[in-house]
Amino acid sequence: MVQDKKQAILKGVLKLVNRVGFYHISMKMVAAEAGVAAGTIYLYFKGKEELINELYTMIVSEFNESVLDAYDQDSPIKEVYRAMMSRAVLFYLNNKDYFSFIEQYTYAPFLFKENQEQNFMLLLPLYKMMRAGKKQKMIKNLPDAVLLSMVHGPMNTMLKMHFARKTDLTKATVQNKFYNACWEAIAAHN
């Protein structure tokens, strides 16, 4: 019962991210969207900051669940790579509001207080895969940051362009072209 209302409030924020944009969200709007009174929010969250931070934590754990369980120690690394990218892209395509929220949260005023370290937690699944690939000599022996940027960066930009309707991410393009192009950037060419 208590959780129902808390979830309704969190979901309310998400809906508003798309409808009015991160920085126009007021507590009154959240209350209206969630079907509660303004004061009720403060029974479940200390304040706006905690509300936003909890939502972020929720999204991060959902994302990691979705992507990390594609990590099968025994599969060839290229397949792990493909599975992870696939899951990550699908996760955001199916949850535009998550993507928008994450993008904007990164630069939110709140962040500059304590959560700055959490900021790259979303990259941990990819990070793990990279290290395995380097050991197997399947992936270039480059600094982690370089490799990470080579798969996270394109995904991010693609999604941004897709959601801004600058391009259409068809399944075929993503699966047959995009993943391969990124792979060629990070793969060791022996």
Report how far residue 13's alpha carbon sits from residue 21's, in angstroms, rounded to the nearest whole number: 10
Tell me whether residue 68 or residue 111 sits nearer to DNA (CB atom).
111
Report how far residue 10's alpha carbon sits from residue 57's, in angstroms, rounded to the nearest whole number: 11
Q: Does 23 participate in binding its own copies (rule CB under 8 A)? A: yes
Q: Which of 21, 35, 47, 76 binds its own copies (CB under 8 A)?
A: 21
Give the three-class secondary structure for 140: coil
Which one of its own copies, DNA, none interacts with residue 164, CB within 5 to 8 A by kind? its own copies
Task: Output 49-58 pairs: Cβ under 8 A, ≥24 positions apart.
Answer: 49/110, 49/113, 51/9, 51/10, 51/13, 52/13, 52/105, 52/108, 52/110, 53/110, 53/115, 54/10, 55/10, 55/13, 55/14, 55/101, 56/101, 56/102, 56/105, 56/115, 56/118, 57/118, 58/10
Which one of DNA, its own copies, none interacts with residue 27, CB within 5 to 8 A by kind? DNA
Which one of its own copies, DNA, none interacts with residue 184, CB within 5 to 8 A by kind? its own copies
Structure tokens at 96: 């535009």
Q: Does 21 participate in binding DNA (rule CB under 7 A)? A: no
Q: Which of 11, 15, 48, 160 binds DNA (CB under 7 A)?
A: 48
Which one of DNA, its own copies, none interacts with residue 48, CB within 5 to 8 A by kind? DNA
Q: Does 166 participate in binding its own copies (rule CB under 8 A)? A: yes
Q: Does 131 participate in binding its own copies (rule CB under 8 A)? A: no
Structure tokens at 7: 């979830």
Give the three-class secondary structure for 121: helix
Q: Which residues bind its own copies (CB under 8 A)?
A: 21-24, 103-104, 107-109, 112, 116, 119-120, 140, 142-146, 148-150, 152-158, 161-162, 164, 166-167, 173, 177-178, 181-182, 184-186, 189
